[in-house]
Structure 1
């Protein structure tokens, strides 16, 4: 079964140019708008030369606005994405090992994929892996594929 998954490995990677990202130098107000628009829980943070820095979520942004008695939205202009993003993030290097990906996706909805030099090349999502795994199971069992799987 692992051989069949390896045959589909080209479908797992969502390339960097198709992934919503922000730069570490961006102000938090920009990142707030991006996260609001794309509605993802977390997005990758990159350097200006496309190297992976970490991940950013809406709670990381809103935490900077919390005061003792009210929200202080002016903090969004004072801080950058790099000030608040999560930097201790598990990444996988391209080319990646399918077994490792399967293991790591148990606890992560997606994994950032980087080149050997740290350049961000895309993400592998749990959803894409599950779609492929479902396809393999149907293929092995001779079951018809659903419209979404084709």
Structure 2
């Protein structure tokens, strides 16, 4: 039992840095984009939700297809062409939890219960990538099966 506890503690205290999908491999949108451009980017990418960055590459929130459509419904945006006059910063979800690359895995897992991914920022608050449920689960499977 003590070995299992040590193994668990070793895994859960790992820093998440090596599990991050780097920003070069992540689709993002800018908070100043109009909703038409953001929705088009989401549709082309196949992602349902992406981080929203400002011009300084800081995370301002996340935006999803459903958030854009809900915003359009609530604001009574009648036509797709009107999406050109509405902006990402109005429709995005703000106050998104963010982590740094030295965050321990246990804390990341606790947040990933409610979020499909988490933006990762450096100490200057610049976006450096995302931590996904998939990257964490891939790591855990590897650790558990290599331990046998």
Q: What TM-score comes out, normalization by structure 2 length?
A: 0.84
CA pair 10-115 structure 1, distance change in 2 beyond 3 A: closer
Q: 2 CA distance for matches of 1:108 and 1:68?
A: 26
Give TM-score, length-normalised by structure 1: 0.83
Please say if 1:140 is aligned against 2:108. no
Structure of greater relative contact order (alpha carbons < 8 Å, 6+ residues apart) = 2
Paired position in structure 2 for 1:147: none
> How many residues were matched structurally?
141
Structure 2: any 5+ residue segments left out of the alignment? 1-6
Which structure is higher in helix share? 2
Q: CA RMSD in A?
A: 2.3
1:63 aligns with 2:70: yes
Which residue of the partner structure matches residue 4 of structure 2?
none
- Deviation of 1:62 after TM superposition, in Å, equals 1.6
Segments of 4+ moved more than 2 angstroms = 1-11, 63-71
